[in-house]
Structure 1
Amino acid sequence: MQTNFEKKMFVRLHFLIFVSMNLVIDAGNTCVKLAVFEGDTLVFRQNSEVGDVAREIKEICDHYPRIKHGIIASVGNLDRKVMAVLTVFCEVHELTPMSKLPFKNSYATPQTLGVDRIALATAAFYRYPKKNVLIIDAGTCVTYDMVNDYGEYLGGAISPGLHMRYKALHDQTSKLPLLQPKEFLDYIGNSTETSIHSGVVNGICQEIDGVIDQYGSRFADLTVILTGGDALFLSKRLKNTIFADSKFLLVGLNYLLEYNKR
């Protein structure tokens, strides 16, 4: 006779066998992020070079045979063969502005709204229902996206990201060196290199804090989410209270995949 514990374990095992998993692919401007979700739980994630994506998709699907659905959101130039590889293993939804959205989209040109911003707005809509949420994605670009407490996406802003600012100073001048983000002790730079670090890092932090203040003066009880590749580096330098969440976009894509299964 089975004990209660054995019965519970059997039910749990039976559930795991038949519950499918989702494969989420976020193809950004600089790298591709891959994630596997079981329900709303993230069980695997990794970053990949564009040229390795097809091979790594196969390896992931071999390792997680319960993957039945996938979603691709690409803002870069992801090779179409990646889609072909993925369709071998699961049913695929390619996120576009024409996909079904759970929130009201009040963007004036919805057909031009980036799929990354759609995913971020979706995560905010589900994670913080009936709240005013500003999502800041600090990646190749810094994007600002606002979802109000009525579940309405209003839009936001786009500005150059951290590395883009360093590169612009180098590319658009004849003598300034190309630097990488670095800690600096004083906002008054006493050399060319420390002046660049101060100008770029201090400048982007002042921008982000200023935007948060602008939105905070207009929207009550504003929740601010900071995500993206440079979120950790920048979060320690901001004066405003934020929630840093590196997986926010991936979570939004998983919600969108579930929503578009209906």
Structure 2
Amino acid sequence: MLLALDIGNTSINSGIFSADKLIRVYTFNLAVSKSYFDKIFNDFPQIKIVAVCDVIQQWQKMENLFLQRNISVFKIDTNTKLFFKSNYITHNTLGKDRLSAIAGGIALFPNTALLIVDAGTAITFDYVNDKGVFLGGRISPGINLRFSVLHTQTKKLPLLNKTINFPKIGTTTNEAILSGVLDGVVKEIEGVITDFKQQNLISKVIFTGGDAKFLHNIIKFNIFVLPNLVLKGIYELYKFNNQ
């Protein structure tokens, strides 16, 4: 039994894999990780391996919790072998979460041209062609980051939260912020999808990340929402590196 950990900027998404199936998912804040790990170990004492994707260098603070239980550790890094070809020039700077999402997408949809959109602190767009080659992507500020920057980098603009109901044109400052941030994100994502589709470059669009379900309700295109895509990719990378 394997525990996959996706350690993000503010939270940890974790999944239990048994016989190639994801059987349980736990999501929790970084600040309470120890108590949640205790719960996971109590629920699944059969865990023998932990596979880790850590984007903010938090794993060192947690590693002893696993070593004390004699759990083997597999950590995704720049030396991790890939089961797909990558044309990314600066491989050592490619986020491990992006790498894992790409691996998950290719494993689930082999020989399929994919646009993988991971909507979290940042919004990343990653393109895989129909031969399973990762060709590159783009990185943009996420929804909450856009709200935060408007608040912290100005003197008077309030800090707002996302809402499914937002105007196209704001008649108050709050409405103007909601329109600028949320409609701006929607237009950006739909614009990227449109560009790729018009060039017949993609046949599937996959959304993952903390804001994936929210965006699914307001994006006009047919998309697949796979909240645990990164966990799937972590598991597949572990399997490939431990054949």
Partner of 1:193: 174
Task: Give, as a single letter, the amino acid of the residue that structure 2 aligns with 1:112.
Answer: T
**Aligned pair 1:181/2:162, yes or no?**
yes
Partner of 2:51: 71
TM-score by structure 1 length? 0.88
Q: Deviations over 1:91-135 (max 9, x none)?
A: 111111210111111101111111001101101111111110110
- In structure 1, the gaps of 5 or more residues are 1-20
Please state whether the residue corresponding to 2:15 is helix, strand or coil: strand
Partner of 1:211: 192
Deviation of 1:258 after TM superposition, in Å, equals 1.4
Q: Higher Cα Rg: structure 1 or 2? A: 1
Task: Give, as a single letter, the amino acid of the residue that structure 2 aligns with 1:153.
Answer: F
Deviation of 1:88 after TM superposition, in Å, equals 3.0
Please state whether the residue corresponding to 1:211 is helix, strand or coil: helix
- In structure 2, the gaps of 5 or more residues are none
Please show how residues 124-139 of structure 1 align to structure 2 within 5 Å: 124-139=105-120
Partner of 2:40: 60
Task: Give, as a single letter, the amino acid of the residue that structure 2 aligns with 1:205.
Answer: V
Please show how residues 7-156 of structure 1 align to structure 2 within 5 Å: 21-89=1-69, 90-156=71-137
Q: Which structure is higher in RCO with an 8 Å CA cutoff and minimum separation 6?
A: 2
Deviation of 1:143 after TM superposition, in Å, equals 0.4
**Aligned pair 1:228/2:209, yes or no?**
yes
Shift of the 113–208 alpha-carbon distance from structure 1 to 2, 3 Å rule, reads: same
Deviation of 1:79 after TM superposition, in Å, equals 4.8
Give me the whole-angstrom Cα distance separating, in 2, the residues matched to 1:221 and 1:110: 23
Following TM superposition, where does structure 1 have runs of at least 4 consecutive aligned residues deviating by more than 4 angstroms? none
CA contact (8 A) 1:184 1:194 kept: no
CA contact (8 A) 2:166 2:179 kept: no
Give me the whole-angstrom Cα distance separating, in 2, the residues matched to 1:185 and 1:163: 15
Please state whether the residue corresponding to 1:67 is helix, strand or coil: coil
Normalized per residue, which structure has more helix? 1
Task: Give, as a single letter, the amino acid of the residue that structure 2 aligns with 1:37.
Answer: F
Task: Give, as a single letter, the amino acid of the residue that structure 2 aligns with 1:74.
Answer: D
TM-score by structure 2 length? 0.94
Count of matched residue positions in the alignment of Structure 1 and Structure 2: 242
Task: Give, as a single letter, the amino acid of the residue that structure 1 aligns with 2:96.
Answer: V
